[in-house]
Every structure is written in structure tokens, then in C-alpha cells.
Copies of this chain bind each other. A is one copy, B any other.
Amino acid sequence: MFIGAQLSLYPMTSDFVPVILSGLDALAPYRDRLRIETDDISTLMVGAPEPLFDAMRDFFARAAGDPAHVTLHATVSRGCPGEPDDPSCRCNVLAVAQGRPLAERQRQAQEAVRQAPVMGVGIDVQFSLYVLGQDRHMDEIYGCIDFLKASGTFLRSKNFCTRLRGDAGAVFEAVRQAFLRFGPAEGHVTLDLTASANSPSPR
């Protein structure tokens, strides 16, 4: 299994470089558990979903502490057949979810969101979950949307994606649960995620 993400942080301020660098500083506690490489478009993070989504959350929450409008985009992937197996990506939640009925996975996902830490940073997210390489991919996607609606972070459905709103702790936990508990445990699953904070647009 190979799990990771390409992350880009976009601070809407002329002084955007220090905001990006401060976000990258928030990744320091994760560098022993994640492979992290930054280029001119994005930062690659490879590793297990526990540190991966915690790091994503802290990266964005740190930048959102700045008064400027800031957004994050993440392309997240697990199980891509084109990537090599990597022992650092081993994930117990995927093994536990394997073969369990949808209703049980939805219940476990909701419990995880309830236990998420409170970060004190309100954020908006919209994301799409893609389950690849199987015929009945929409069953898992609809099952995931039902979980999100009951998660306490659901805002509304949009074309091609789902809007969440809430504390960064609960919202990133809801996204992690969507990524881990839906679609086959050994399958190829991806996320296309946008997070936004401090937008001047009326909410």
C-alpha cells in the first residue's frame, strides 16, 4: 500500500511566502513519520493516514491563524497500482474496515469525528471522494455522503463535491474517515480537497 498527498497552500496576501513557510514549520513534528518533499507547486507527504491527516490539519490550521484569506488544496491517494508498496504507509484502520458492513463503518467514522480534538480554528472544506477500479463505486460514495450528513460537519451538497464546515479538528477527521472507511481497504481511493479560511465572501 502507498498512501500520500500533494498539498498546496495559497495565502491571498502579497506577503505569502512567510505564511507558506510558517505552515511548513507546523510539519516539523511529523517529519520522522512522513516523507515530505516540497517543489514549486506542491508538497508531497507520504505515510500512514494517522500522521498524514494530522499534519495536513496542522499545516492548514497554522496558516489560517494568520489574518489573511488562505486556502489549501490536497490531492490524496491510497492504493494506487502505479505506486510501490511502502511499509511506512501501513494502516490499521484499513485492515479493520476490510469487509465490514457499510452501516458499521459509518458508525465507526462518526465515533472518530466525535473524538476529534478541538483546534479552535473554523474552516470550510469542499471535497470529492473517488473510488477507482470497481464497478459499483457509487454505492460507497453515497454511503460516505450519508456518513458526512450525520457527522456534524456537513454544510451542503454541490455538483461534483460535498461542503463541510466546522472546527479544523472535526472537519479533517471527517475527511480522514471518508478516505479510510469507504471504498475497498485494498483498493485505489483518492480525494480532491479544498479548504478555506478567513474568506471575505459572506458566509
- What is A's interface to B at a CB cutoff of 8 Å? 4-6, 8, 10-17, 39-42, 44, 46, 68-69, 71, 73, 75, 77, 80-83, 124, 126, 128, 130-135, 137-138, 141-142, 158-161, 163, 188, 190, 192, 194, 196, 199-203
Contacts and interface: CB of A to CB of B under 8 A. Distances in A.
Copies in the complex: 2
Nearest to A2: B159
Nearest to A13: B14
Contact of A69 (B16, B71, B80, B138): B16
Contacts of A17: 200
A10 B194 CA distance: 12
A152 B83 CA distance: 25
Contacts of A10: 10, 12, 71
